[in-house]
Amino acid sequence: MRRQDIILNLLSEMSSYILSGDPQRMVISLHQEESGLHLCILDSNDHSDEEVERLEKTLNSQKRPELAGYYGAMTGHDLLGSSRMDLLGWQVKHADVSKTDSGIKIDLWMGGDEFESQKFSIPKSGK
Amino acid sequence: MIKQHFLLRNLLFTIIFIFILSGILIDGPYRALTNTLHLQLIPSRLINDFIAIGGIGAALINSALVGLTGLLIILKVKTLLSGPTFAAVLTLMGFGLFGKTVINILPIITGVYFSGRFIGKQFKEYIIIALFGTALGPVVSFIAFEFGLTGIWAFGGSIGLGLLTGFLLPSIAVSMLHMHQGYNLYNMGLSCGFFGLFAAAFILATGHEFKGGIEWYSKPNLFLTLLIPVLSLSFIITALISKGKKSLTDFKKIQKIPGRLPSDFMVMESTEGALVNSGLIGIIGSLYVLVVGGDFNGPVIGGLLTIMGFGAFGTNLKNSWSVVTGVIISTLVFGFGLNSPGPILAAIFVTTLAPLAGEFGWKVGIIAGIIHLVMVMQTGAWHGGMNLYNNGFAGGLTATVIVAVIQWYKTNKTEFSNSFRSKK
Protein backbone atom coordinates (compact mmCIF):
# COMPACT_ATOMS: atom_id res chain seq x y z
CA MET A 1 0.00 0.00 0.00
CA ARG A 2 1.30 3.44 -0.85
CA ARG A 3 2.38 5.62 2.05
CA GLN A 4 -0.20 8.24 1.07
CA ASP A 5 -2.99 5.65 1.29
CA ILE A 6 -1.77 4.45 4.68
CA ILE A 7 -1.76 7.98 6.03
CA LEU A 8 -5.21 8.71 4.64
CA ASN A 9 -6.58 5.55 6.25
CA LEU A 10 -4.96 6.37 9.60
CA LEU A 11 -6.31 9.91 9.49
CA SER A 12 -9.77 8.73 8.56
CA GLU A 13 -10.04 6.13 11.34
CA MET A 14 -8.62 8.46 13.98
CA SER A 15 -10.82 11.34 12.84
CA SER A 16 -13.84 9.07 12.94
CA TYR A 17 -13.06 8.14 16.54
CA ILE A 18 -12.50 11.73 17.65
CA LEU A 19 -15.49 13.13 15.75
CA SER A 20 -17.83 10.52 17.25
CA GLY A 21 -17.41 12.53 20.47
CA ASP A 22 -18.51 15.68 18.61
CA PRO A 23 -15.60 17.90 19.75
CA GLN A 24 -15.49 21.64 19.26
CA ARG A 25 -11.87 21.40 18.11
CA MET A 26 -9.77 18.73 16.46
CA VAL A 27 -6.16 19.34 15.44
CA ILE A 28 -4.13 16.91 13.38
CA SER A 29 -0.39 17.21 12.85
CA LEU A 30 1.64 14.96 10.57
CA HIS A 31 5.40 14.74 10.34
CA GLN A 32 7.10 12.41 7.90
CA GLU A 33 10.59 10.98 7.80
CA GLU A 34 12.05 8.59 5.28
CA SER A 35 11.72 5.62 7.61
CA GLY A 36 8.50 6.51 9.39
CA LEU A 37 5.93 9.05 10.37
CA HIS A 38 4.43 10.70 13.42
CA LEU A 39 0.78 11.62 13.66
CA CYS A 40 -0.53 13.76 16.49
CA ILE A 41 -4.24 14.29 17.11
CA LEU A 42 -5.72 16.63 19.71
CA ASP A 43 -9.32 17.30 20.60
CA SER A 44 -11.28 19.40 23.05
CA ASN A 45 -13.51 16.78 24.68
CA ASP A 46 -13.41 15.33 28.16
CA HIS A 47 -12.26 11.71 28.24
CA SER A 48 -12.35 9.49 31.29
CA ASP A 49 -9.16 7.98 32.69
CA GLU A 50 -10.61 4.58 31.87
CA GLU A 51 -11.08 5.54 28.20
CA VAL A 52 -7.54 6.92 27.95
CA GLU A 53 -6.13 3.76 29.50
CA ARG A 54 -8.20 1.52 27.24
CA LEU A 55 -7.23 3.53 24.16
CA GLU A 56 -3.53 3.40 24.96
CA LYS A 57 -3.72 -0.32 25.60
CA THR A 58 -5.57 -0.92 22.33
CA LEU A 59 -3.22 1.23 20.28
CA ASN A 60 -0.19 -0.51 21.77
CA SER A 61 -1.60 -4.01 21.40
CA GLN A 62 0.55 -6.86 20.15
CA LYS A 63 1.20 -6.74 16.42
CA ARG A 64 -1.07 -9.12 14.58
CA PRO A 65 0.17 -9.51 10.99
CA GLU A 66 -2.42 -12.21 10.31
CA LEU A 67 -5.19 -9.70 11.05
CA ALA A 68 -3.52 -6.49 9.88
CA GLY A 69 -2.69 -7.96 6.47
CA TYR A 70 -6.32 -8.82 5.79
CA TYR A 71 -8.77 -6.94 8.00
CA GLY A 72 -6.42 -3.96 8.21
CA ALA A 73 -7.80 -3.02 4.79
CA MET A 74 -10.90 -1.77 6.58
CA THR A 75 -8.94 0.88 8.50
CA GLY A 76 -10.39 4.28 7.82
CA HIS A 77 -12.50 2.85 5.07
CA ASP A 78 -15.56 1.14 6.46
CA LEU A 79 -16.82 3.58 9.03
CA LEU A 80 -20.42 2.51 9.62
CA GLY A 81 -20.62 1.65 13.31
CA SER A 82 -18.20 2.11 16.18
CA SER A 83 -14.59 3.12 15.49
CA ARG A 84 -12.11 0.28 15.76
CA MET A 85 -8.88 1.40 17.28
CA ASP A 86 -7.57 -2.17 17.33
CA LEU A 87 -7.25 -1.96 13.54
CA LEU A 88 -4.77 0.86 14.14
CA GLY A 89 -3.10 -0.85 17.07
CA TRP A 90 -1.97 -3.77 14.92
CA GLN A 91 -0.32 -1.42 12.45
CA VAL A 92 1.32 1.41 14.38
CA LYS A 93 4.76 1.06 15.91
CA HIS A 94 3.97 2.89 19.12
CA ALA A 95 1.24 5.10 20.55
CA ASP A 96 1.01 7.55 23.44
CA VAL A 97 -2.31 8.77 24.78
CA SER A 98 -2.47 11.56 27.32
CA LYS A 99 -4.92 14.07 28.70
CA THR A 100 -4.43 17.75 27.97
CA ASP A 101 -5.97 20.77 29.70
CA SER A 102 -8.93 20.68 27.38
CA GLY A 103 -9.07 17.20 25.91
CA ILE A 104 -6.91 14.36 24.71
CA LYS A 105 -3.66 14.01 22.75
CA ILE A 106 -2.88 10.91 20.74
CA ASP A 107 0.58 10.37 19.29
CA LEU A 108 1.04 7.61 16.75
CA TRP A 109 4.33 6.47 15.29
CA MET A 110 4.44 4.23 12.27
CA GLY A 111 7.44 2.92 10.38
CA GLY A 112 9.60 0.03 9.29
CA ASP A 113 11.81 -2.20 11.42
CA GLU A 114 14.63 0.32 11.39
CA PHE A 115 12.35 3.13 12.53
CA GLU A 116 12.80 4.20 16.15
CA SER A 117 10.26 6.67 17.46
CA GLN A 118 12.61 7.68 20.31
CA LYS A 119 15.06 9.13 17.80
CA PHE A 120 12.38 10.91 15.85
CA SER A 121 13.31 14.38 14.67
CA ILE A 122 10.30 16.19 16.13
CA PRO A 123 11.54 18.23 19.11
CA LYS A 124 10.22 16.98 22.47
CA SER A 125 8.43 20.25 23.04
CA GLY A 126 6.60 19.85 19.76
CA LYS A 127 5.11 16.49 20.65
CA MET B 1 -0.63 -14.44 25.01
CA ILE B 2 1.93 -17.22 25.11
CA LYS B 3 -0.09 -19.12 27.72
CA GLN B 4 -3.15 -18.70 25.53
CA HIS B 5 -1.27 -20.03 22.52
CA PHE B 6 -0.15 -23.20 24.29
CA LEU B 7 -3.56 -23.78 25.87
CA LEU B 8 -5.23 -23.60 22.46
CA ARG B 9 -2.52 -25.64 20.77
CA ASN B 10 -2.94 -28.45 23.29
CA LEU B 11 -6.73 -28.25 23.14
CA LEU B 12 -6.79 -28.43 19.34
CA PHE B 13 -4.26 -31.27 19.15
CA THR B 14 -6.33 -33.16 21.72
CA ILE B 15 -9.53 -32.74 19.70
CA ILE B 16 -7.77 -33.86 16.52
CA PHE B 17 -6.34 -36.90 18.32
CA ILE B 18 -9.76 -37.81 19.73
CA PHE B 19 -11.34 -37.55 16.28
CA ILE B 20 -8.72 -39.90 14.80
CA LEU B 21 -8.96 -42.36 17.69
CA SER B 22 -12.77 -42.34 17.59
CA GLY B 23 -12.72 -42.86 13.84
CA ILE B 24 -10.49 -45.92 14.16
CA LEU B 25 -12.46 -47.35 17.08
CA ILE B 26 -15.85 -46.87 15.42
CA ASP B 27 -15.10 -48.33 11.98
CA GLY B 28 -11.97 -50.36 12.63
CA PRO B 29 -8.57 -49.29 11.30
CA TYR B 30 -8.77 -50.91 7.86
CA ARG B 31 -12.26 -49.71 6.94
CA ALA B 32 -11.70 -46.27 8.41
CA LEU B 33 -8.44 -45.72 6.55
CA THR B 34 -9.55 -47.10 3.18
CA ASN B 35 -12.72 -45.03 3.32
CA THR B 36 -10.69 -41.96 4.29
CA LEU B 37 -8.63 -42.54 1.17
CA HIS B 38 -11.82 -42.91 -0.84
CA LEU B 39 -13.07 -39.53 0.44
CA GLN B 40 -10.00 -37.86 -1.05
CA LEU B 41 -11.00 -39.05 -4.49
CA ILE B 42 -14.61 -37.95 -4.84
CA PRO B 43 -16.24 -34.72 -6.04
CA SER B 44 -17.21 -32.76 -2.98
CA ARG B 45 -19.63 -30.09 -4.08
CA LEU B 46 -22.46 -29.16 -1.72
CA ILE B 47 -23.93 -31.12 -0.06
CA ASN B 48 -21.80 -34.28 0.19
CA ASP B 49 -22.03 -35.59 3.70
CA PHE B 50 -18.85 -37.60 4.21
CA ILE B 51 -20.54 -39.62 6.95
CA ALA B 52 -23.10 -40.82 4.40
CA ILE B 53 -20.41 -41.53 1.81
CA GLY B 54 -17.50 -42.93 3.81
CA GLY B 55 -18.93 -43.75 7.23
CA ILE B 56 -18.48 -42.09 10.60
CA GLY B 57 -14.91 -43.25 11.10
CA ALA B 58 -13.59 -42.02 7.76
CA ALA B 59 -15.40 -38.70 8.09
CA LEU B 60 -13.89 -38.12 11.53
CA ILE B 61 -10.40 -39.01 10.35
CA ASN B 62 -10.72 -36.78 7.29
CA SER B 63 -11.96 -33.95 9.49
CA ALA B 64 -8.99 -34.43 11.82
CA LEU B 65 -6.50 -34.52 8.94
CA VAL B 66 -7.90 -31.33 7.40
CA GLY B 67 -7.81 -29.60 10.79
CA LEU B 68 -4.31 -30.90 11.45
CA THR B 69 -3.12 -29.51 8.12
CA GLY B 70 -4.42 -26.07 9.05
CA LEU B 71 -3.01 -26.21 12.57
CA LEU B 72 0.45 -27.27 11.39
CA ILE B 73 0.51 -24.45 8.82
CA ILE B 74 -0.45 -21.93 11.53
CA LEU B 75 2.33 -23.20 13.78
CA LYS B 76 4.83 -23.39 10.92
CA VAL B 77 4.40 -19.71 10.01
CA LYS B 78 4.56 -18.78 13.70
CA THR B 79 1.12 -17.24 13.87
CA LEU B 80 -0.51 -16.81 17.24
CA LEU B 81 -3.30 -19.23 18.10
CA SER B 82 -6.12 -16.94 19.05
CA GLY B 83 -9.73 -16.16 18.07
CA PRO B 84 -9.40 -16.15 14.26
CA THR B 85 -6.96 -19.05 14.01
CA PHE B 86 -8.97 -21.09 16.53
CA ALA B 87 -12.07 -20.41 14.41
CA ALA B 88 -10.16 -21.38 11.27
CA VAL B 89 -9.05 -24.77 12.61
CA LEU B 90 -12.52 -25.68 13.91
CA THR B 91 -14.06 -24.53 10.62
CA LEU B 92 -11.57 -26.68 8.68
CA MET B 93 -12.49 -29.66 10.86
CA GLY B 94 -16.19 -28.92 10.48
CA PHE B 95 -16.04 -28.79 6.71
CA GLY B 96 -13.74 -31.82 6.72
CA LEU B 97 -17.00 -33.64 7.46
CA PHE B 98 -18.63 -32.46 4.24
CA GLY B 99 -16.42 -31.23 1.46
CA LYS B 100 -12.86 -30.42 2.42
CA THR B 101 -10.09 -32.94 2.02
CA VAL B 102 -6.35 -32.58 2.43
CA ILE B 103 -6.00 -33.01 -1.33
CA ASN B 104 -8.47 -30.31 -2.33
CA ILE B 105 -7.37 -27.65 0.17
CA LEU B 106 -3.60 -27.69 -0.42
CA PRO B 107 -3.58 -26.19 -3.96
CA ILE B 108 -5.72 -23.29 -2.74
CA ILE B 109 -3.53 -22.61 0.29
CA THR B 110 -0.48 -22.73 -1.99
CA GLY B 111 -2.12 -20.32 -4.42
CA VAL B 112 -2.71 -17.82 -1.61
CA TYR B 113 0.94 -18.24 -0.62
CA PHE B 114 2.07 -17.35 -4.16
CA SER B 115 -0.30 -14.39 -4.20
CA GLY B 116 1.37 -12.98 -1.10
CA ARG B 117 4.82 -13.60 -2.52
CA PHE B 118 3.80 -11.86 -5.73
CA ILE B 119 3.10 -8.59 -3.92
CA GLY B 120 5.82 -8.95 -1.30
CA LYS B 121 3.70 -9.95 1.69
CA GLN B 122 4.60 -12.59 4.23
CA PHE B 123 2.38 -15.67 4.14
CA LYS B 124 1.29 -15.06 7.72
CA GLU B 125 -0.41 -11.85 6.55
CA TYR B 126 -2.67 -13.91 4.33
CA ILE B 127 -2.99 -17.02 6.44
CA ILE B 128 -6.61 -16.31 7.41
CA ILE B 129 -7.52 -15.96 3.73
CA ALA B 130 -5.61 -19.15 2.93
CA LEU B 131 -7.32 -21.23 5.61
CA PHE B 132 -10.86 -19.99 5.05
CA GLY B 133 -10.33 -19.86 1.27
CA THR B 134 -10.34 -23.65 1.30
CA ALA B 135 -14.12 -23.31 1.00
CA LEU B 136 -13.39 -23.60 -2.72
CA GLY B 137 -11.85 -27.04 -2.29
CA PRO B 138 -14.64 -28.53 -4.44
CA VAL B 139 -13.27 -26.59 -7.42
CA VAL B 140 -10.16 -28.77 -7.23
CA SER B 141 -12.12 -31.99 -6.65
CA PHE B 142 -14.58 -31.12 -9.40
CA ILE B 143 -11.90 -30.75 -12.07
CA ALA B 144 -10.08 -33.87 -10.88
CA PHE B 145 -12.99 -36.24 -10.42
CA GLU B 146 -16.20 -34.91 -12.00
CA PHE B 147 -15.50 -32.74 -15.03
CA GLY B 148 -14.62 -35.64 -17.29
CA LEU B 149 -10.87 -35.08 -17.61
CA THR B 150 -8.53 -38.01 -17.11
CA GLY B 151 -4.89 -38.68 -16.28
CA ILE B 152 -2.46 -35.80 -16.40
CA TRP B 153 -5.17 -33.39 -17.62
CA ALA B 154 -7.31 -34.06 -14.58
CA PHE B 155 -4.35 -33.85 -12.23
CA GLY B 156 -2.76 -30.78 -13.82
CA GLY B 157 -6.07 -29.02 -14.40
CA SER B 158 -7.25 -29.43 -10.82
CA ILE B 159 -3.93 -28.35 -9.31
CA GLY B 160 -3.65 -25.44 -11.74
CA LEU B 161 -7.17 -24.21 -11.14
CA GLY B 162 -6.69 -24.60 -7.38
CA LEU B 163 -3.54 -22.50 -7.51
CA LEU B 164 -5.24 -19.85 -9.64
CA THR B 165 -8.20 -19.79 -7.26
CA GLY B 166 -5.94 -19.26 -4.27
CA PHE B 167 -3.92 -16.65 -6.12
CA LEU B 168 -7.01 -14.55 -6.84
CA LEU B 169 -8.67 -14.91 -3.44
CA PRO B 170 -6.81 -12.19 -1.47
CA SER B 171 -7.80 -9.47 -3.90
CA ILE B 172 -11.43 -10.58 -3.91
CA ALA B 173 -11.54 -11.06 -0.14
CA VAL B 174 -10.42 -7.53 0.64
CA SER B 175 -12.92 -6.01 -1.80
CA MET B 176 -15.74 -8.08 -0.34
CA LEU B 177 -14.90 -6.82 3.15
CA HIS B 178 -15.66 -3.30 2.01
CA MET B 179 -19.07 -4.36 0.68
CA HIS B 180 -20.44 -5.39 4.07
CA GLN B 181 -17.94 -3.44 6.19
CA GLY B 182 -17.18 -6.38 8.47
CA TYR B 183 -20.78 -7.26 9.32
CA ASN B 184 -20.60 -10.72 7.70
CA LEU B 185 -18.32 -12.92 9.78
CA TYR B 186 -17.78 -15.44 6.99
CA ASN B 187 -16.28 -12.96 4.55
CA MET B 188 -14.48 -15.75 2.75
CA GLY B 189 -17.91 -17.30 2.14
CA LEU B 190 -18.93 -14.20 0.24
CA SER B 191 -15.57 -14.06 -1.54
CA CYS B 192 -15.62 -17.72 -2.50
CA GLY B 193 -19.26 -17.49 -3.57
CA PHE B 194 -18.40 -14.51 -5.77
CA PHE B 195 -15.51 -16.44 -7.32
CA GLY B 196 -17.75 -19.51 -7.60
CA LEU B 197 -20.18 -17.59 -9.81
CA PHE B 198 -17.43 -17.15 -12.39
CA ALA B 199 -16.15 -20.71 -12.01
CA ALA B 200 -19.66 -22.11 -12.46
CA ALA B 201 -20.32 -19.87 -15.47
CA PHE B 202 -17.15 -21.07 -17.22
CA ILE B 203 -17.99 -24.68 -16.46
CA LEU B 204 -21.53 -24.29 -17.77
CA ALA B 205 -20.12 -22.58 -20.87
CA THR B 206 -18.27 -25.79 -21.72
CA GLY B 207 -21.62 -27.55 -21.90
CA HIS B 208 -21.19 -29.39 -18.61
CA GLU B 209 -24.22 -29.67 -16.36
CA PHE B 210 -24.05 -29.90 -12.61
CA LYS B 211 -25.68 -33.16 -11.63
CA GLY B 212 -26.33 -35.05 -8.44
CA GLY B 213 -28.51 -34.48 -5.43
CA ILE B 214 -27.43 -34.18 -1.87
CA GLU B 215 -25.87 -36.87 0.28
CA TRP B 216 -27.36 -36.47 3.75
CA TYR B 217 -26.84 -38.95 6.60
CA SER B 218 -30.04 -39.26 8.60
CA LYS B 219 -29.68 -42.32 10.83
CA PRO B 220 -29.85 -41.59 14.56
CA ASN B 221 -26.50 -42.20 16.24
CA LEU B 222 -25.71 -41.64 19.90
CA PHE B 223 -22.02 -40.88 19.29
CA LEU B 224 -22.82 -38.20 16.70
CA THR B 225 -25.55 -36.72 18.91
CA LEU B 226 -23.22 -36.43 21.89
CA LEU B 227 -20.08 -35.35 20.03
CA ILE B 228 -20.66 -31.59 20.07
CA PRO B 229 -22.22 -31.38 23.57
CA VAL B 230 -19.27 -33.33 25.04
CA LEU B 231 -16.78 -31.17 23.14
CA SER B 232 -18.60 -28.05 24.31
CA LEU B 233 -18.53 -29.19 27.92
CA SER B 234 -14.82 -29.89 27.62
CA PHE B 235 -14.28 -26.28 26.46
CA ILE B 236 -16.16 -24.95 29.47
CA ILE B 237 -14.37 -27.25 31.90
CA THR B 238 -10.97 -26.34 30.40
CA ALA B 239 -11.81 -22.65 30.88
CA LEU B 240 -12.97 -23.15 34.47
CA ILE B 241 -9.88 -25.17 35.37
CA SER B 242 -7.60 -22.57 33.78
CA LYS B 243 -9.16 -19.39 35.13
CA GLY B 244 -11.93 -20.30 37.56
CA LYS B 245 -14.90 -17.97 37.99
CA LYS B 246 -13.08 -15.19 36.15
CA SER B 247 -13.84 -17.05 32.92
CA LEU B 248 -17.56 -16.58 33.62
CA THR B 249 -17.03 -12.86 34.23
CA ASP B 250 -15.14 -12.60 30.95
CA PHE B 251 -17.89 -14.56 29.22
CA LYS B 252 -20.41 -11.96 30.40
CA LYS B 253 -18.22 -9.16 29.06
CA ILE B 254 -17.99 -10.91 25.69
CA GLN B 255 -21.78 -10.69 25.40
CA LYS B 256 -21.45 -6.90 25.22
CA ILE B 257 -19.13 -6.96 22.19
CA PRO B 258 -20.99 -6.32 18.90
CA GLY B 259 -18.77 -8.85 17.12
CA ARG B 260 -18.00 -6.96 13.95
CA LEU B 261 -14.97 -8.24 12.06
CA PRO B 262 -12.33 -8.60 13.39
CA SER B 263 -13.38 -9.14 17.04
CA ASP B 264 -10.91 -11.48 18.68
CA PHE B 265 -12.72 -12.31 21.92
CA MET B 266 -9.65 -14.14 23.20
CA VAL B 267 -7.64 -10.95 23.16
CA MET B 268 -10.43 -8.49 23.88
CA GLU B 269 -11.42 -10.41 27.04
CA SER B 270 -9.75 -13.78 27.62
CA THR B 271 -9.21 -17.18 26.08
CA GLU B 272 -11.18 -18.78 28.89
CA GLY B 273 -14.14 -16.40 28.53
CA ALA B 274 -14.19 -17.15 24.81
CA LEU B 275 -14.06 -20.90 25.46
CA VAL B 276 -17.10 -20.64 27.76
CA ASN B 277 -18.88 -18.65 25.05
CA SER B 278 -17.88 -21.20 22.45
CA GLY B 279 -18.97 -24.12 24.62
CA LEU B 280 -22.37 -22.62 25.38
CA ILE B 281 -22.93 -21.88 21.69
CA GLY B 282 -22.18 -25.55 20.96
CA ILE B 283 -24.59 -26.78 23.62
CA ILE B 284 -27.42 -24.44 22.63
CA GLY B 285 -26.86 -25.22 18.96
CA SER B 286 -27.08 -28.95 19.69
CA LEU B 287 -30.23 -28.45 21.74
CA TYR B 288 -31.79 -26.56 18.82
CA VAL B 289 -31.03 -29.46 16.46
CA LEU B 290 -32.51 -31.90 18.98
CA VAL B 291 -35.66 -29.83 19.54
CA VAL B 292 -36.47 -29.42 15.85
CA GLY B 293 -35.70 -33.10 15.22
CA GLY B 294 -32.71 -32.47 12.99
CA ASP B 295 -30.08 -35.02 12.00
CA PHE B 296 -26.67 -35.06 13.61
CA ASN B 297 -24.57 -35.69 10.53
CA GLY B 298 -21.55 -34.23 8.74
CA PRO B 299 -23.00 -30.86 7.68
CA VAL B 300 -24.84 -30.25 10.97
CA ILE B 301 -21.90 -31.23 13.18
CA GLY B 302 -19.63 -29.30 10.83
CA GLY B 303 -21.85 -26.27 11.22
CA LEU B 304 -21.85 -26.56 14.99
CA LEU B 305 -18.05 -26.88 15.04
CA THR B 306 -17.81 -23.76 12.89
CA ILE B 307 -20.02 -21.61 15.10
CA MET B 308 -18.12 -22.86 18.14
CA GLY B 309 -14.95 -21.63 16.48
CA PHE B 310 -16.53 -18.27 15.80
CA GLY B 311 -17.54 -18.17 19.45
CA ALA B 312 -14.01 -16.83 19.82
CA PHE B 313 -14.23 -14.52 16.84
CA GLY B 314 -17.46 -12.54 16.60
CA THR B 315 -20.38 -14.74 17.63
CA ASN B 316 -21.89 -14.53 21.11
CA LEU B 317 -25.24 -15.50 22.55
CA LYS B 318 -26.49 -11.92 22.73
CA ASN B 319 -25.79 -11.03 19.12
CA SER B 320 -26.94 -14.38 17.75
CA TRP B 321 -30.41 -15.09 19.10
CA SER B 322 -32.22 -12.58 16.90
CA VAL B 323 -30.69 -13.69 13.59
CA VAL B 324 -31.53 -17.31 14.42
CA THR B 325 -35.08 -16.21 15.32
CA GLY B 326 -35.29 -14.50 11.93
CA VAL B 327 -34.39 -17.74 10.16
CA ILE B 328 -37.00 -19.67 12.19
CA ILE B 329 -39.70 -17.12 11.35
CA SER B 330 -38.74 -17.15 7.68
CA THR B 331 -38.70 -20.95 7.59
CA LEU B 332 -42.20 -21.15 9.04
CA VAL B 333 -43.62 -18.32 6.92
CA PHE B 334 -42.35 -19.82 3.66
CA GLY B 335 -43.45 -23.33 4.59
CA PHE B 336 -40.11 -25.10 4.88
CA GLY B 337 -39.37 -27.71 7.53
CA LEU B 338 -37.24 -26.55 10.43
CA ASN B 339 -35.34 -29.84 10.32
CA SER B 340 -34.79 -30.04 6.57
CA PRO B 341 -31.23 -29.54 5.31
CA GLY B 342 -31.37 -25.94 4.07
CA PRO B 343 -33.20 -24.36 7.02
CA ILE B 344 -31.34 -26.27 9.72
CA LEU B 345 -27.98 -25.28 8.25
CA ALA B 346 -29.23 -21.71 7.82
CA ALA B 347 -30.28 -21.59 11.49
CA ILE B 348 -26.75 -22.60 12.49
CA PHE B 349 -24.73 -20.59 9.99
CA VAL B 350 -26.89 -17.45 10.08
CA THR B 351 -24.75 -16.43 13.04
CA THR B 352 -22.46 -15.07 10.34
CA LEU B 353 -24.79 -12.05 10.55
CA ALA B 354 -24.60 -11.74 14.33
CA PRO B 355 -22.56 -8.48 14.17
CA LEU B 356 -25.53 -6.75 12.52
CA ALA B 357 -27.64 -7.46 15.59
CA GLY B 358 -24.71 -6.68 17.87
CA GLU B 359 -24.21 -3.24 16.37
CA PHE B 360 -27.71 -2.19 15.25
CA GLY B 361 -30.01 -4.17 17.55
CA TRP B 362 -32.19 -7.25 17.58
CA LYS B 363 -34.81 -5.91 15.18
CA VAL B 364 -32.17 -5.61 12.46
CA GLY B 365 -31.02 -9.10 13.45
CA ILE B 366 -34.47 -10.59 12.88
CA ILE B 367 -34.83 -8.87 9.51
CA ALA B 368 -31.37 -10.13 8.54
CA GLY B 369 -32.31 -13.69 9.53
CA ILE B 370 -35.52 -13.58 7.51
CA ILE B 371 -33.73 -12.37 4.37
CA HIS B 372 -30.85 -14.80 4.89
CA LEU B 373 -33.03 -17.92 4.78
CA VAL B 374 -34.70 -16.83 1.56
CA MET B 375 -31.35 -16.06 -0.04
CA VAL B 376 -29.48 -19.16 1.09
CA MET B 377 -32.15 -21.44 -0.37
CA GLN B 378 -31.19 -20.08 -3.81
CA THR B 379 -27.52 -19.20 -3.75
CA GLY B 380 -26.17 -22.76 -3.71
CA ALA B 381 -27.33 -23.32 -7.27
CA TRP B 382 -25.72 -20.09 -8.48
CA HIS B 383 -22.20 -21.40 -7.90
CA GLY B 384 -23.03 -25.04 -8.57
CA GLY B 385 -22.22 -25.99 -4.98
CA MET B 386 -18.57 -25.07 -5.56
CA ASN B 387 -18.45 -22.80 -2.51
CA LEU B 388 -18.78 -24.78 0.70
CA TYR B 389 -19.55 -21.61 2.68
CA ASN B 390 -22.87 -21.07 0.93
CA ASN B 391 -24.32 -19.47 4.06
CA GLY B 392 -21.38 -17.10 4.17
CA PHE B 393 -22.16 -16.13 0.58
CA ALA B 394 -25.86 -15.55 1.26
CA GLY B 395 -24.99 -13.83 4.54
CA GLY B 396 -22.58 -11.53 2.76
CA LEU B 397 -25.21 -10.51 0.23
CA THR B 398 -27.73 -9.96 3.02
CA ALA B 399 -25.29 -7.92 5.09
CA THR B 400 -24.36 -5.83 2.07
CA VAL B 401 -27.97 -4.86 1.45
CA ILE B 402 -28.69 -4.11 5.10
CA VAL B 403 -25.48 -2.12 5.57
CA ALA B 404 -26.23 -0.14 2.41
CA VAL B 405 -29.70 0.78 3.66
CA ILE B 406 -28.49 1.70 7.16
CA GLN B 407 -25.66 3.78 5.75
CA TRP B 408 -27.98 5.54 3.37
CA TYR B 409 -30.43 6.26 6.19
CA LYS B 410 -27.77 7.50 8.60
CA THR B 411 -26.17 9.66 5.95
CA ASN B 412 -29.34 11.27 4.70
CA LYS B 413 -31.86 11.33 7.55
CA THR B 414 -30.79 14.82 8.61
CA GLU B 415 -30.40 17.66 6.20
CA PHE B 416 -26.75 18.67 6.01
CA SER B 417 -27.44 22.23 7.10
CA ASN B 418 -29.26 21.00 10.20
CA SER B 419 -26.35 18.87 11.31
CA PHE B 420 -24.52 21.98 12.52
CA ARG B 421 -25.50 23.60 15.74
CA SER B 422 -24.25 26.28 18.05
CA LYS B 423 -21.43 25.36 20.36
CA LYS B 424 -21.42 26.56 23.92
Rounded average pLDDT over B129-144 = 97
The SS3 of residue A41 is strand
Report the CATH number that the domain containing residue A22 is assigned in CATH. Answer: 3.30.565
8 Å CB contact of B177 and A71: yes
Smallest Cβ distance to A66: which of B79, B359, B360?
A: B79
Chain mean pLDDT for chain B: 95
Per-residue pLDDT at A61 exceeds 90: no
In a domain, A89, yes or no: yes
Is the Cβ–Cβ distance between B379 and B394 less than 8 Å? yes
Q: Which residue has the higher pLDDT, A21 or B136?
A: B136
What is the C-alpha separation between A38 and A52, in angstroms, rounded? 19
Smallest Cβ distance to A67: which of B1, B121, B262?
A: B262
Instruction: Using alpha carbons, select from B191, B137, B188, B185 the residue that is nearest to residue B161.
Output: B137
For B142-195, the pLDDT digits (tens) are 999 999 999 999 999 999 999 999 999 999 999 999 999 999 999 999 999 999
In a domain, A118, yes or no: no
Interface probe for A, chosen from B129, B267, B421 (most Cβ of A below 10 Å), is: B267
Rounded average pLDDT over A32-37 = 84
Range of the domain at A87: 3-110
pLDDT of residue A121: 55
In a domain, B150, yes or no: yes
In a domain, B33, yes or no: no
Range of the domain at B345: 106-409
Residues of chain B whose beta carbon is less than 8 angstroms from a beta carbon of chain A are 1, 79-80, 84-85, 121-122, 124-129, 170, 173-174, 177-178, 181-183, 258, 260-262, 264, 267-268, 359-360, 403, 406-407, 410, 423
Rounded average pLDDT over A32-59 = 90
pLDDT class of A78 with cuts at 50, 70, 90: confident
When computed from its CA atoms, the radius of gyration of chain A, rounded to whole angstroms, is 14
Q: How many separate domains does chain B show?
A: 1
| Shortest CA distance from B358: residue in chain A | A81
Rounded average pLDDT over B62-90 = 97
Is the Cβ–Cβ distance between B139 and B133 less than 8 Å? no
In a domain, B7, yes or no: no
pLDDT class of B85 with cuts at 50, 70, 90: very high
pLDDT class of B424 with cuts at 50, 70, 90: very low
| Shortest CA distance from A65: residue in chain B | B125
Per-residue pLDDT at A126 exceeds 50: no
In a domain, B420, yes or no: no
In a domain, A115, yes or no: no
pLDDT of residue B417: 52
8 Å CB contact of B262 and A71: yes
Angstrom distances, CA of residue B257 to CA of A49, A74, B319, B320, B377: 21, 18, 8, 12, 30
Cβ-based neighbours of B92, under 8 Å, separated by 6 or more: B66, B67, B69, B70, B100, B105, B131, B134
- Cβ neighbourhood burial of B416 (10 Å; 0-12, 13-18, 19+): exposed
Instruction: Using alpha carbons, select from B370, B377, B218, B189 the residue that is nearest to residue B289.
Output: B218
In a domain, A97, yes or no: yes
8 Å CB contact of A82 and B258: yes
Query: Is A81 an 8 Å CB contact of chain B?
Result: yes
User: A 83-102 residues with CB below 8 A of B?
Assistant: 84, 86-87
The SS3 of residue B213 is coil
pLDDT of residue B423: 47
Interface probe for B, chosen from A61, A70, A75, A85 (most Cβ of B below 10 Å), is: A70
For B276-327, the pLDDT digits (tens) are 999 999 999 999 999 999 999 999 999 999 999 999 999 999 999 999 999 9
In a domain, A116, yes or no: no
Per-residue pLDDT at B3 exceeds 90: no
Query: Is A114 an 8 Å CB contact of chain B?
Result: no
Task: Number of A to B CB contacts under 8 A, please give it.
Answer: 74
pLDDT of residue B412: 85
Phi and psi based region of residue B78 (left: phi greater than 0; alpha: psi -120 to 50; beta: remaining): left
Interface probe for A, chosen from B177, B180, B319, B364 (most Cβ of A below 10 Å), is: B177
Interface probe for B, chosen from A80, A84, A85, A86 (most Cβ of B below 10 Å), is: A80
Q: How many separate domains does chain A show?
A: 1
Rounded average pLDDT over B253-260 = 96
Rounded average pLDDT over B209-232 = 94
Share of chain B above pLDDT 90, in %: 93
Smallest Cβ distance to B182: which of A61, A66, A74?
A: A74
In a domain, B13, yes or no: no
Per-residue pLDDT at B219 exceeds 90: yes
In a domain, B86, yes or no: no
pLDDT class of A116 with cuts at 50, 70, 90: low
For B24-39, the pLDDT digits (tens) are 999 999 999 999 999 9
For B324-368, the pLDDT digits (tens) are 999 999 999 999 999 999 999 999 999 999 999 999 999 999 999
pLDDT of residue A110: 86
In a domain, A125, yes or no: no
| Chain B partners within 8 Å of A84 (Cβ) | 260
Rounded average pLDDT over B400-407 = 95
Is the Cβ–Cβ distance between B147 and B191 less than 8 Å? no
